[in-house]
Chains A and B, each alone.
Chain A
Amino acid sequence: MLIAQIKKMEKIITVKNLVKKFGYFKANDNLTFDVYKGEIFGFLGANGAGKTTTIRILCGLSSPTSGDLKVAGFDIYKETEKIKHNIGYMSQKFSLYEDLTVSENIQLYAGIYGISRKRRKEKEAELLKKLELEDAKNKLIGGLPLGWKQKLAFSVAIFHDPKIVFLDEPTGGVDPITRRKFWDLIYEAANRGITVFVTTHYMDEAEYCNRVSIMDAGKIEALDTPAKLKEIYNAKNMDEVFLKIARK
């Protein structure tokens, strides 16, 4: 997607002067940025830079100290429940219940997101067919190969057709083929108009994003397309850009 095209599109997340303090510590120090509909937005930063704090706020799990924020058109202070209905979330650490079956996991999440019982059945059948998991429907998640789990976890996170999906290090520790297949799914979701907000420590994955923001010590130090960032920082790849920003 071209940056010019993105600019014309509607804003799905707007963040103005976000500050989050824990005691005297500013975890988020005056962040301002927008995310556009259908965009793959890479949210990078060193450990402790404040990424998780921002994600928790955007998901309605934590309140900012100050700032104006809208997620999927809803106010972050007053409409957190509406926000939760319009977003999906997945991380490598926690996504599916290992001791429930494939089918039970789907039903559980569908129930949580308030999808009607009838619609749930239909959607489950659709999903199992699409993922070619029909035969594994009654198997426990714990015993499935990692690649299948990942596909399922992502599909469940976007099962309720959210406007935005937050992916917090979705590919940590995953083999190189599965990691790439996972990005195929991300592209597919973005093509369907779902906005993807993703964090990763793999710098090659930063190249796959439409735009990338890089945080350091609670501030956004850079935000642009990977191509533009490489130009600005005179770097061969995103790894070099990241090092130049986070090591300065």
Chain B
Amino acid sequence: MIKINNISKSYHKTEALKNISLKVNRGELFGLIGPDGAGKTTLMRILTTLLLPNSGEAIMDKLDIVKDFKKIRHIVGYMPGRFSLYQDLTVEENLQFFATVFGTTVKENYELIRDIYYQIEPFKTRRAGKLSGGMKQKLALSCALIHKPKILILDEPTTGVDAVSRKEFWEMLKKLQKKDITILVSTPYMDEAILCDRVALMQNGEILDVDSPSKITKKFPRKIIQVRSENMFQLINDLRQYTKAESVFAFGQYAHFTGINDDVEPSELDLYLQKLGHKKVFVEKITPGIEDVFMELMKTS
């Protein structure tokens, strides 16, 4: 559905995208995962025909992003990272405006947005600028969907959004996917990667890896040991002092330990920490998560 071939884009001397190639299949929920500055927004702006690449090409549903830009705008729904609806129009007016611009009506495509829009419908006479963060997000998504796009592109829809609203938003995306909409979504939250069918891990304008989340973590070659004790700060410091330690980072209630080689056994770390007086020590080998993989790829790229 989306084919990206060798796209590069620079802003003055900064290379925002370095020779990116990627394919997104029809009906996929595809995630661009990476921190600020990875190039996610630039790639999305190129695909939505808002920005021209320096080189390379991209095809969206058989349409070329340069030659067929007008047609692409009709089949793509785009929700930019910054709230960009009309703050001084009401909820209802914003929706009507976007429907009219695309030559359709709210009524014609209401079915598609009903699940999302009904939650903000009680506030339809309120100005968009006066909505809460969660409501703005729902309105923006409704507006991006009102012309029944084949491809939906969402730039960091969950950034700065609390954990509950984030979960609800992903549930909405899953529902939309079932309606035959191909979804490309970016996020800096690594834990959201597992909610996608496939992801591209991005960093500094490059793609580190593309695959399904489960395959990405299976490919990870290193052994990770997770460790817990009563004092996290001391635990991390002590683990870093261990002669066979390569990296030690906090992961929630645990610290993740990678050795200089994979010979390090949980039992020896346990012993080492007991000797140093750590209490309630718990050590076990685990399968890595996306964030472990990302951090490892960052180190080697």
A46 contact from B34, B164, B190, B252, Cβ within 8 A: B164
Q: A173-B188, A208-B250 are in contact. Are A45 and B162 (CB under 8 A)?
A: yes
- B133, CB-defined interface residue at 8 Å: yes
CB pair A201–B233 under 8 Å, yes or no, is no
CB pair A201–B35 under 8 Å, yes or no, is no
* Minimum distance in angstroms from A228 CB to a CB of chain B: 13
* Minimum distance in angstroms from A95 CB to a CB of chain B: 14
* Minimum distance in angstroms from A243 CB to a CB of chain B: 6
A243 contact from B164, B190, B294, Cβ within 8 A: B164
Residues of chain A with a CB closer than 8 A to B299's CB: 177
Q: A208-B232, A226-B253 are in contact. Are A246 and B164 (CB under 8 A)?
A: yes
Number of interface residues, chain B, beta carbon within 8 A: 36
Separation of A247 and B167 alpha carbons in the complex (Å): 10
Q: Which residue of A lies closest to B189 (CB)?
A: A202
Residues of chain B with a CB closer than 8 A to A178's CB: 35
- A34, CB-defined interface residue at 8 Å: no
A242 contact from B156, B164, B189, B232, Cβ within 8 A: B164
- B298, CB-defined interface residue at 8 Å: yes
* Minimum distance in angstroms from A226 CB to a CB of chain B: 7
- A36, CB-defined interface residue at 8 Å: no
Separation of A238 and B231 alpha carbons in the complex (Å): 17
Separation of A55 and B212 alpha carbons in the complex (Å): 41
- B110, CB-defined interface residue at 8 Å: no
Give the one of A2, A47, A239, A242 with max B CB within 10 A. Answer: A47
B11-39 interface mask toward A, CB cutoff 8 Å, 1 = contact, 0 = none? 00000000000000000000000111100
Given contacts A2-B230, A207-B253, A246-B163, 8 further A-B contacts (CB under 8 A): A47-B132, A174-B188, A175-B298, A187-B233, A201-B163, A237-B253, A239-B163, A247-B164
Residues of chain A with a CB closer than 8 A to B271's CB: none
CB pair B252–A204 under 8 Å, yes or no, is yes
Chain A, interface size category, equals: 35 or more
A48 contact from B35, B134, B233, B295, Cβ within 8 A: B134
* Minimum distance in angstroms from A190 CB to a CB of chain B: 8
Q: A169-B160, A175-B203 are in contact. Are A203 and B295 (CB under 8 A)?
A: no
* Minimum distance in angstroms from A170 CB to a CB of chain B: 13
A172 contact from B160, B166, B249, Cβ within 8 A: B160
A-B contact pairs, 7 of them (CB 8 A): A47-B161, A175-B36, A176-B298, A184-B236, A201-B166, A207-B253, A242-B164
- A-contacting residues of B (Cβ < 8 Å)? 34-37, 132-134, 156, 159-167, 188-190, 203, 230-233, 236, 249-253, 291, 294-295, 298-299
* Minimum distance in angstroms from A65 CB to a CB of chain B: 21
Q: Which residue of B lies closest to A236 (CB)?
A: B253
- A1, CB-defined interface residue at 8 Å: yes
B159 contact from A172, A191, A203, A243, Cβ within 8 A: A172
CB pair B163–A177 under 8 Å, yes or no, is no
Give the one of B133, B159, B162, B164 with max A CB within 10 A. Answer: B162
Instruction: For the complex of A and B, list the 7 residue pairs with the smallest distance between their C-beta atoms, beginning with the closest.
Output: A175-B35, A204-B252, A46-B162, A173-B36, A207-B252, A47-B133, A207-B253
Residues of chain B with a CB closer than 8 A to A97's CB: none
Separation of A207 and B252 alpha carbons in the complex (Å): 5
* Minimum distance in angstroms from B240 CB to a CB of chain A: 10
Separation of A180 and B203 alpha carbons in the complex (Å): 17
CB pair A146–B37 under 8 Å, yes or no, is yes
* Minimum distance in angstroms from A48 CB to a CB of chain B: 5
A1 contact from B163, B231, B253, Cβ within 8 A: B231
Separation of A169 and B251 alpha carbons in the complex (Å): 18
Q: Which residue of B lies closest to A191 (CB)?
A: B233
* Minimum distance in angstroms from A61 CB to a CB of chain B: 20
* Minimum distance in angstroms from A23 CB to a CB of chain B: 13
- A33, CB-defined interface residue at 8 Å: no
